[in-house]
Amino acid sequence: MTDTTIFWVALPFFVGFTVYLLPQTARLLTLAVALASLVYAGALFVQPEPLDLRLLDSFGVTLLADQLSAYFILTNALVTAAVILYCWDTGKTAFFYAQTVILHGSINATFVCADFISLYVALEVIGIAAFLLIAYPRQDRTLWVALRYLFISNTAMLFYLVGAVLVYQTHQSFAFTGLRGAPTEAVVLIVLGLLVKGGVFVSGLWLPLTHAEAESPVSALMSGVLVKAGVFPLVRFALLVEELDPLLRLFGVATAVLGVVYALVETDAKRVLALSTVSQVGWVMAAPPVAGVYALAHGLVKGALFLTVGNLPSRNLAVLQQRPMATSLWLPLTVGSLAIAGCPLFLGFGAKALTLEYVLPWQGSILGLAALGTAVIYAKFMVLPHQHDEKFVASPGLWTALAVLLGSLILANVVYLEAYTGPKLLTALATIGGGLAIHQLLVKRVKFVLPRALEDFEHLIGGMSLTLVVLFWMVWSWLAI
């Protein structure tokens, strides 16, 4: 398994450069890499013990691959494969596929890294590949959004790198376990960098504009897997250094609520999905021991929804209320909305039930309200008018991609079949029904707009600085690391 792991980590980067030499093979090779990740994730699930590799002693590279990694790698494999199938006949150049496969490999690397420097390199490559994919249409708007993302990402990584150096100065090691006993400022800087990369709480408000303005396949990659490259190390920290667990749970719950509040009053379909991603990232962090299951459920459904919304005649929900969409498009939109709201038959149901079993008592009631808020948000899509339209033509690969993502959501139910009990089924159905009722009776009739000032470039930097101060106070006064 050691040789296989090293080969699997290196494969996407080798293929990324090969694509430039043999551009006619770009789609096939990129899809093959995603399928290789799928096979590797399956191998990790049946691996009896976690794979722990120390390749370069205390200077790194250290790899740790276990079942938690497997869930995240599986998510990356399925979402990437679906995006490639979606783009198959859209005329994307070899450059697009090269960046996609490099992004895929870099994200995979973050899921098996166990040292700070390897993680830093992987996150920096992710930032560059994502920047190039966002800027791919080469329009003024997307170029500005891509540059904005790159600046925020690099600033966050600067904080992270300083923290990593401080950990090494203390322990002469870059291993994740060095967080225990490290100076407070080291812990704070590393955690802040990852909170920004993961789109968590106010430091993650760069996410709505970036995900909404990118092309739909890129949005699917970013919301489905890219943000999890920032969240996964935080989850790993909480499992390796249990003193960080309360901090992660607190940020998880706060993020779940913040995303719901913003998404409730949003009227742009892609921004609704992006703000929902902020909320769902919070769910992933709220219960670290079962984060992998929720990450898989969210990645699959968010990929499906972004690809579907990319085919809508308008992003404006008010316009869609007046202009019925094709029923063939409304169906996957509604199925995806039900899945993320926690409807039985989909993994979202089991993931929510499992997460709520692992949260602390104070988290349960707040996350219950966040789940109701999620149902209200997605009721916006379920109640949109639709009609049979023979003239509607979707992107050529949409149905294949949806078959992969939504089919996987159903098959993955086997992860937690214990959720199918009477009380949990009733709770899930009542939550979805309550969300529909609240939307129809209240949210639909009240017009309320939240200011977007916090998403302005200068305020994002200010929010990052404020979060740094709050984090320092919390780690210094609250956590005994």
Which pair of tokens denotes residue 126?
A: 């992710």
Distance CA 394, CA 27 (A): 20
- pLDDT at position 205 over 80: yes
pLDDT in tens, 134-173: 999 988 889 999 999 999 999 999 999 999 999 999 988 8
Average pLDDT over residues 455-480: 81
Average pLDDT over residues 266-281: 92
Q: What is the mean pLDDT of the chain?
A: 90
pLDDT in tens, 206-221: 888 898 889 999 999 9
Cis peptide before 61 (omega within 30 of 0): yes
Range among 34-38, 198-202, 395-399 with highest mean pLDDT value: 34-38
Distance CA 107, CA 9 (A): 10
pLDDT at position 417, please? 87
DSSP β-ladder status, 325-326 and 386-387: parallel
Q: Is 410 exposed, middle or buried (CB count within 10 Å of its CB: 0-12, 13-18, 19+)? A: middle
- pLDDT at position 450 over 80: no
pLDDT in tens, 222-251: 999 999 999 999 999 999 888 889 999 999
Distance CA 90, CA 102 (A): 20
Range among 170-174, 181-185, 192-196, 203-207 with highest mean pLDDT value: 192-196
Distance CA 35, CA 29 (A): 10
Which pair of tokens denotes residue 236?
A: 């790993």
- pLDDT at position 58 over 60: no
Dump the DSSP string for 192-231: HHHHHHTT-GGGGTTHHHHHHHS-HHHHHHIIIIITHHHH
Which pair of tokens denotes residue 343?
A: 């409807």
Distance CA 328, CA 200 (A): 34
Dump the DSSP string for 381-442: HHT--EE--TT----TTHHHHHHHHHHHHHHGGGGGGGG-SHHHHHHHHHHHHHHHHHIIII
Q: Which residue has the tokens 């079993």?
A: 357
> Measured in Å, how far apart are the chain's first and last C-alpha atoms?
34
DSSP β-ladder status, 62-65 and 51-54: antiparallel
Confidence band of 390 (pLDDT split at 50, 70, 90): confident
Distance CA 62, CA 116 (A): 9
Distance CA 415, CA 158 (A): 38
b/e per residue, 346-361, with b = 16+ CB within 10 A? bbbbbbbbbbbebbee
pLDDT at position 60, please? 65
pLDDT at position 281, please? 93
| CA distances (Å), origin 43, targets 1, 4, 223, 450 | 9, 10, 25, 46
pTM of this prediction exceeds 0.85: yes
